[in-house]
Structure 1
Amino acid sequence: MSVSRRVFLAGSAATATAVTAGSVAACGASTSELPSNSQDTPQPLKEAVVEFDGAHQAGIDTPTQASLNMIGFNLREGVDARGVARLMRLWTADARALCAGETPLGSLEPEMNEWPANLTITCGFGEKVFDIAAPSRKPTWLRDLPAFNRDQLDPRWGQTDLVLQICSDDPVMCAWAMRHMTRAGMDYATTAWVQQGFMNAFGAIPKGQTPRNLFGQVDGTVNPHEPDEYDEQVWIDGPEGFAGSTSLVVRRIAMHLDEWELLDRASREQSIGRTLDDGSPLTGGDEFAAPDMEAKDQFGLPVIDKNSHMARAMPPADHPEQRFKRRPYNYNLPPEPGSAELTNAGLVFITFQKDPDVQFTPVQSRLDEVDRLNTWITHIGSAVYWVPPGTSQSGAGDEYWGQSVLGA
């Protein structure tokens, strides 16, 4: 039996109408179950504010937020000590307002500051700031880290004169704060690089749980947790103007996921020295259990490889000071032109410590010498900064970042 084109199209239209009507009905039936955009919708981050002023800058012992914008700046030619001080006054005042959910002076975008979502803005000084403003007060460790044999450092991610670490649980707020601070300082400094990163979204993992990097590794187990541990490892206790400050190391680490994912799970855990599921040592216990470096398996072999990442990063018994705060962020970008790798992923590896020469460099030197993970990572960026103490609006301390040291 033949069917005319007109009859066929009419039948198709009727069928389409029925399907569409059914789809609309189905959608209509479920609409009431979807959350609305009304003012009654919970907004747990709208009032989430991290105190800006205090003995130390925020963004160091603050729980890791979801988004990172780390911006390296170089001072414009001709900026002198007074210019650096003016920039710090400006940046500190604007950062204080942004972190409180308030509108910085002169801003025409008050709507962008309504929900800081745990925004923190942390400032660091490179060596050149001291050379310009306070050469006699420059810390001895404020210089490039030693050259490590396995490094393949890219100048794009190198040392800068200043750095701002901007973190928030809202990526829009994080982006807006970066835009505002960059614009506010444009007469004094230019952007050299931006390193963006991410961790788990707010509420995605239990409060206090150690986050993971893109290898699936629990990253940050050995961090300080208690105030006395921060006093021992992070906060500088003198001289005048330096009390409450710290040092910041930024290492950009490319992670070669294509090769890493060729390993079976047991091989990955042997390389790390910890289980992947909960980060516990291969010798047992929970994530924070002390590893038994003498334990042997049924064949008489060490349970934890002496060249595993954990074993090499551990401080020797006679150097317990080789500990520091890790605050890493993942990055995941389009592949570099000409790269055969499927992704361009890695870590913005951020650490805080009293003295990199004493704490960070010895650990990195051991890892550079031998570390099972070296097969799958490459260090491509490096920078070191002094992070001034916190600030005060009440006259109890510096009104702006580095005031006591800059002396202007």
Structure 2
Amino acid sequence: MTHMPVEDSETQGVSRRGFLASAGVVSSYVAAGVAGFAGGALTLNAAQASTPEKEAQLRAQQQSATIPFYGEYQAGIMTPLQAYGTYAAFTLKPGITVDQARSMMQLLTDDAARLAKGKPTLPDGEPYLATEPARLTSTFGFGPGFFSKLGLQGAMPSGFGELPAFSIDQLQPEFSGGDLVIHVGADNPLTVAHAARQLSRTAHTFAEPLWSQTGFNRPQYGVPSDQTGRNLFGQVDGTINPRTTQEFDAQVWATSGPQWFRDGTCLVVRRIQMDFEGWDKLDDTKKETAMGRNLHNGAPLTGTKEFDAPDLAAKHDNGMPVIASFAHVRRARTNNAEEKFLRRPLNYEDGLLPSGQPNAGLIFAAYMANVQKQFVPVQQRLADLDLMNTWTTPIGSAVFALPPGSQPGGYIGEGLLG
């Protein structure tokens, strides 16, 4: 097999531990004792970012920072959360063959490897937009239709497939499904837009655009490094996440199933529309009761710090539970190791609805080895009894199987497509 050449390829792959170190995770939350992976590891505390000069220096470093593309697994999953991101889904064009799908992934891999280094794709009409990678990552996955259309149903991972219908869903086709997904993340919105455009142009030779969703988080500099980012309801969002290589091995990376999927993972993307008019009518006490956490620092109602474990047995003097039966924390909480996974949410804001309210919410992205065992039971509990459903509505949903990473000279999905 002759693979697409990649300019200035790294000479060797990146190990799991090596990639963590290069991304700043080990030094930022293991050595420093910080437990807030999802909040972003590449941060400075208030003292370190106390002057405009230091903040400007950090911003410049962020814009030139790179994340290795090649490695044991795909970048953009364990990578500390970037400030901006886009998910784009496509459907394969009629008659696309395995050979053509292979060519598509070879070309996309070449594009993504160049962009990750701050180099333009071939061709690139705006090459100067590629020069600030800003921790750019490009991640690829295959939906159920990818396997069925290419006659690869027998290669689908165990527990992967379309989600069941949930009672709270009001799904819209313009935000749902897809045969191929491309996720682009970076700390510069211009970098994200440029990379998404280049990758989408390559994909369009073989697949039709289906939907695109773009979101944001807080910038990762000049903020407390021990607190997770917030969603548009003002809540800390993504507290309970794997933070060590051992936890990622147990919750995220596939260790069994088809050989091509080993060190890959599954992605669930849910678009959650928020009812700001209704939410804004609540006082802080009611908001905290619905969530089960304090608004000011994200601590559970039974604790004082964000990463304190919720005490679900705690009761008030009147015998009522401190964390209500309908609270989001209680419904999502589990002691079952098979029901834990990685959350990487993005906020979205798309103007105003006809009512004058924001057309905004959450692009909820979750990564796990087995969708049916890990994600579905948790989502079912939330659908059955979670008071937050009063102000949130899922309007989009899609699932994808993400292959492991690739090595120089190879391409994403090589184990599946040959």
1:47 aligns with 2:58: no
Structure 1 residue 106, shift from structure 2 partner: 2.5
- Distance (Å, rounded) in 2 between the aligned partners of 1:103 and 1:257: 41
Q: 1:10 — aligned with what?
A: none
Once residues 46 and 291 of structure 1 are traced to their aligned partners in structure 2, the CA distance between those partners, rounded to angstroms, is 38
Q: How many angstroms apart in 1 are the aligned matches of 2:78 and 2:191?
A: 20
The answer as to 2:409 corresponding to 1:405 is no
Q: Which of 131, 134, 152 is the aligned partner of 2:152?
A: 134
- Rounded to whole Å, the distance in 1 between the matches of 2:174 and 2:57 is 46
Residue 344 of structure 1 corresponds to which residue in structure 2? 359
Map 1:177-188 → 2, pairs under 5 A: 177-188=195-206
8 A contact 1:126–1:142 mirrored in 2:
no
**What is the rounded CA distance, in whole Å, between the counterparts of 1:405 and 1:206 in structure 2?**
42
Q: 1:114 aligned to 2:131?
A: yes
Q: CA deviation at 1:201?
A: 1.8
Query: What do the CA deviations read for 1:44-85 (whole angstroms, capped 9, x no partner)?
Result: 223200111111101111111111111011111121111100
2:342 aligns with one of 297, 316, 325 = 325
TM-score (norm 2): 0.84
Letter of the aligned partner of 2:259 in structure 1? Answer: E
- Is 1:242 matched with 2:257? no
Tell me which residue corresponds to 1:28. none
Give the aligned partner of residue 368 of structure 1.
Answer: 383
Aligned residues: 363
Per-residue CA deviation, residues 67-109 of structure 1 (Å, 9 max, x unaligned), is 1111011111121111100000000010010011112223243
CA distance in structure 1 between the aligned counterparts of 2:227 and 2:63, rounded to whole angstroms: 23
Structure 1 runs of 4+ aligned residues shifted over 4 Å read 39-42
Deviation at 1:341, TM superposition (A): 4.8
Contact 1:102 1:110 (8 Å CA) reproduced: yes
Deviation at 1:225, TM superposition (A): 0.5
| Letter of the structure 2 residue corresponding to residue 99 of structure 1 | A
Q: Using the alignment, how far apart are the partners of 1:179 and 1:201 within structure 2?
A: 22
Q: CA deviation at 1:406?
A: 1.2
- Secondary structure of the 2:259 match is coil
* Counterpart contact for 1:134–1:406, Cα < 8 Å: no
- Paired letter, 2:413: G
Conserved 8 A contact 2:227-2:306: no
Which amino acid is the alignment partner of residue 396 of structure 2? G
CA 208–391 in structure 1, closer or farther in 2 if over 3 Å, else same: farther
Amino acid at match of 2:414: Q
Q: Mind listing any 5+ residue stretches in structure 1 that lack a counterpart? A: 1-34
Q: Which moved more, 1:78-87 or 1:137-146?
A: 137-146
How far off is 1:282 after superposition? Answer: 0.5
Q: CA deviation at 1:204?
A: 4.5
**1:180-206 alpha-carbon deviations (Å, 9 max, x no partner):** 111122211121111010100231423
The question of whether the paired residues in 1 share the 8 Å contact of 2:83 and 2:218 is answered with: yes
Say yes or no: does 1:206 pair with 2:221. no
Alpha-carbon deviation of 1:40? 9.5
The code of the aligned residue for 2:278 comes to E
Using the TM superposition, give the Cα deviation of residue 155 of structure 1 relative to its aligned residue in structure 2, in angstroms. 1.0
Check conservation: 2:268, 2:399, Cα contact below 8 A.
Answer: yes
Correspondence for 2:35: none
Tell me the equivalent position of 2:4. Answer: none
Pairing partner for 2:291 from 272, 278, 283: 272
**C-alpha deviations, 1:185-237, integer Å up to 9, x for none?**
22111211110101002314234531110111111110000110000000001
Distance 1:352 1:203 in 2: 25
Higher mean C-alpha displacement, 164-173 vs 44-53: 44-53
Paired residue type of 2:200: T
1:41: how far off? 10
For 1:403 and 1:40, how far apart are their aligned partners in 2? Answer: 40
User: TM-score normalised to the size of structure 1?
Assistant: 0.86
What amino acid sits opposite 1:400 in the alignment?
Y
Match of 1:149 among 167, 182, 205: 167
Shift of residue 144, structure 1, vs aligned partner: 1.4
CA RMSD between the two structures: 1.8
Change (3 A) 1:44 1:237: same
What's the CA shift for 1:298? 2.7
Name 2:90's counterpart in structure 1: 73
Q: For residue 9 of structure 1, what is the aligned residue in structure 2?
A: none
C-alpha separation in 2, matches of 1:313 and 1:286: 19
Amino acid at match of 1:254: Q
Contact 1:309 1:367 in 2 (8 A): yes
| Residue 352 (structure 2) pairs with residue 335 (structure 1) | yes
Identity %: 41
Q: Structure 2 regions of 5+ residues with no counterpart?
A: 1-51
Structure 1: distance between partners of 2:222 and 2:268 = 28
Shift of 1:127: 1.2
Rounded Cα–Cα distance in structure 2 between residues aligned with 1:371 and 1:204: 34
2:208 to 190, 200, 214: 190
Matched, 1:103 2:120: yes
- Tell me, in whole angstroms, the C-alpha distance in 2 between the residues paired with 1:211 and 1:406: 38
Any idea what SS the aligned residue of 1:167 has?
strand
Among 299, 305, 312, which residue is 1:286 paired with?
305
How many Å apart are 1:170 and its aligned residue? 0.4
**Higher alpha-carbon Rg:** 1
CA contact (8 A) 1:133 1:406 kept: no
